[in-house]
Every structure is written in C-alpha cells, then in structure tokens.
Amino acid sequence: MARVYRTVATAGAACYVGSGLAAYSCVHHTDLARLYALAIERGVPGALYHAAGGEFAWRWIAEAVARDLGVPTRSLSMDEAQEMFGPLGAMIYSACSRSLDLRARTELGWKPVHGDMLSQVGEPRLRALARPAPEGPDAAPSGHAFPGQQAVSARRRA
C-alpha cells in the first residue's frame, strides 16, 4: 500500500506493473500474531501454516489510491517498474504470490479478523508518502518509490 502511494510522488499517478492483476495474499499483523501463538500452542512440530486474511491485485490498490488522491492510475512496463521499484520490487509487483491457509484454519482453528487491506486507503501516514520530496541540498536523497533503491540502481547501471 505504501509503495503505491509513493508512486504518486514519483510519477504523478498511482502505478502498477503491466495489467496490475498479479494477485497477492495478505494478512494483518495482529491476525498473523494470533496464528503464531496458535501454532506454538497447538501446532504440529515441523508443520507449515499459511496465513491469508485476504487477497488483492496491485491494480485494485492503485485504483483505490488514485480515487483517494484524485490522480490517474498508470501501468508501468517492466523496464519502467525496474527504474521505479528496482529489479526485486518490479518482480514482486508483477508476479502472483497466493497462499492457502486451510491447514491453519482446520488444524488450529485460526480465522483472520482483519481481511480488507483496502481499508488502509486514506490514512494520513500513507497520504504523506504521495507528496513529492523537497528539493535542495538538505532534501531526502531520493524521490524513488523505494527510497535508497535509486542509488543501488545507478550503481548497477555504472
């Protein structure tokens, strides 16, 4: 969510990669903490318990952020995404990563309470990320969507 808000500061639009339909599972930190506690208390040693409180596509987030800020959305090519997010970020935002949590639900009785990641849209802490970084010698080092990544990308190009 934060990275999409940051793209507004760097590109003037809420950005996603390609079609923006790469799907990701998400889980709220308090739901995840409850799953950890249940796994410690009741879990089978060595078992793998996934946590999925919901699922989203990056484009859905970009569209919600765009509505919140009154800006357009924009699809990025893979090259543009690598410039904005760095190679790892571009890969993350263009690939699906979905989890099924059937084992956590059936064996441990876990059920997420917080499922809607889009409920974060409009939070002041996120809106602040959409403001362009100040210019000048004392300004933040990068207006890049992944602060600090711009220097890494520049070193790789050199």
Question: What per-residue confidence (pLDDT) applies to 115?
Answer: 67
The predicted model scores a pTM of 0.69
Distance separating alpha carbons of residues 40 and 47, to the nearest angstrom: 11
Write the pLDDT tens digit of every residue in 35-72. Answer: 999 999 999 999 999 988 888 888 988 998 899 999 99
Q: At 119, is the secondary structure helix, strand, or coil?
A: helix
| Cα 155 to Cα 51, 95, 128, 147, 151, distances in angstroms | 37, 25, 28, 15, 6
Tokens of residue 75, six digits: 């699809």
Contact between 23 and 60 (Cβ < 8 Å) = no
Residue 16 bridge partners (DSSP): 75
